[in-house]
Structure 1
């Protein structure tokens, strides 16, 4: 840096500002620095455009999955040299517009398929890059980064069916259009069809996929006399609520009822028994998302599907009633 500064007739601080993309370096000074770099046969160091601010639209922080995703975003941000803000999405509230007026927002990440359409139209009108994180979007103006939810749920249901669990209680969020919940239920249906079994819609229950929801739905199913030997909850958090509800009724996991979760959040590895779950590659999904905003070129909106993993824990075993028979 000192050699370049001396050759260009400027201070080392000016060269530093140039290399870090600060706009306080004049065009004439920039040319002198570039000429010095060439004459000294140094490897060119290109200026990086200020990445600005990336806004994350926050849906429902009651879900542990979203909290873990946000934590991982914060951990990854320093590597990319960008700033990040979190904007709560509450109904028809339009306070988000103030953020876009006051801040240099260059990218938007949204975590919920059913984000307010007026908000998405407002953002798109500003030609800001958008990424749908963790789901499929009907909005063709954004990039989508997610797993194949249909295939993941299909594999999870097949896993339970192979363990001879034909009566499976399924706990899902409310399916809408092409949402994750819709895809996962479709995957479970396909697994039952492949085994030549009838898919019982009465064993599919809906809620917010929180701990309380998993606990409540399981308790109600037991009170209503619904028969099941396994539970497939579409979130790890809900699966933990299921386990608590079963324990209160004197039912053991996995001896009496097998339980499978979804997402693979850190909590799933910290409980006893360790939860069997479908693990989403959250960190890899975050890297792909943030890489999108590093690319200054205008790219076509694309869909990136990353691999999931069925992670065997200690909460699923062969149906004990089959063993006894």
Structure 2
């Protein structure tokens, strides 16, 4: 016979309300009582019924997470942070792959509405007007990761992409590089494309280095486009000493093409990435990059969303810190 919450309460010699509070991470009991309830749950093999939980507090204990590309290392690191925090708080996570162009976003929003999820985390995607209209009808809290909105009721968690890009280019300049190219994301992308490109331009300007459009090529943030962009760069401007890529994946794709052309890294050409995913330290030579706290971004997003779900109050946004991660792909030209 499947045990019920009543059976757990009887066996642990506590009230049903106490068992419920332990299950939902609420306060009002001693640590000794908590441990006794948890042990009883484990011994009896009790699993809370999602339908009963919904009827009790009008919540499904489920959050939706929307990614434009769930296969990327960036996405997996952020998702790990979200899931770790959510599971600790008793929430399940439903992951939706909206594709890079967002053509599945409306469909998945409909799915999340039908599932009666309690809140949504949107990663690396702009909230278009049609998305916001549907989200307003769902009446659930939303948190953005690596994006932002001008809506004060929608908090975000992200690094300052313009400043992080600026710092990366200044790092290269401080190593003696003045002929620096960039492999950027789409210039039409307001999430990471435009801010990172602007940081590149601002760093050159502040250091008195002329901006040359021939030294900017574009990709889609993923590995293959980095290689394609590098081929284009080699054809149109051969005078660069360093390449800054807007993601680690594009940087690694570009490095491989450079090596295929007999270009030594970093002796002949230096590379700088962005994100600090595992790939950046797994390749040889290990990639110097801009470090984003990806796991922490996911944890912070989940924390903010669950706080909004459980309190009904809007929480403040967070601009997380970034860092320059020095490895082996940048040559110091000052020596």
TM-score norm. by structure 2 comes to 0.79
* Deviations, residues 88-107 of structure 1 (Å, cap 9, x unaligned): 32416643254234323111
The alignment's C-alpha RMSD in Å is 2.9
- Is residue 92–residue 116 contact of structure 1 (8 Å, CA) maintained in 2? no
Partner Cα distance (1:186, 1:136) in 2 = 17
Deviation at 1:119, TM superposition (A): 2.2
Residue 121 (1) aligns with residue 130 (2): no
5 Å-filtered alignment, 1:67-146, equals 67-89=76-98, 90-91=102-103, 94-146=106-158
- Is residue 66–residue 97 contact of structure 2 (8 Å, CA) maintained in 1? yes
Partner residue, 1:31: none
User: Are the structure 2 counterparts of residues 195 and 245 from structure 1 closer, same or farther at C-alpha, using a change threshold of 3 Å?
Assistant: same
- Is residue 91–residue 116 contact of structure 1 (8 Å, CA) maintained in 2? no
Gaps in structure 1 of 5+ consecutive residues: 1-9, 23-33
User: Are the structure 2 counterparts of residues 16 and 258 from structure 1 closer, same or farther at C-alpha, using a change threshold of 3 Å?
Assistant: farther
Q: Which runs of 4+ in 1 moved over 6 A?
A: none
- Is residue 135–residue 147 contact of structure 1 (8 Å, CA) maintained in 2? no
Q: 1:267 aligns with which of 279, 284, 301?
A: 279
TM-score norm. by structure 1 comes to 0.81
Gaps in structure 2 of 5+ consecutive residues: 1-8, 22-27, 38-52
User: Are the structure 2 counterparts of residues 232 and 79 from structure 1 closer, same or farther at C-alpha, using a change threshold of 3 Å?
Assistant: same
Partner residue, 1:15: 14
Secondary structure, counterpart of 2:157 in structure 1: strand
User: Are the structure 2 counterparts of residues 225 and 157 from structure 1 closer, same or farther at C-alpha, using a change threshold of 3 Å?
Assistant: closer
Deviation at 1:130, TM superposition (A): 0.5
Partner residue, 1:284: 296
- Is residue 214–residue 237 contact of structure 2 (8 Å, CA) maintained in 1? no
Partner residue, 1:3: none
Partner residue, 2:183: 171
User: Are the structure 2 counterparts of residues 242 and 124 from structure 1 closer, same or farther at C-alpha, using a change threshold of 3 Å?
Assistant: same
- Is residue 84–residue 299 contact of structure 2 (8 Å, CA) maintained in 1? no
Residue 207 (1) aligns with residue 227 (2): no
Aligned pair count reads 294
* Deviations, residues 38-60 of structure 1 (Å, cap 9, x unaligned): 9xxx89x9x99667111011212
- Is residue 113–residue 137 contact of structure 1 (8 Å, CA) maintained in 2? no
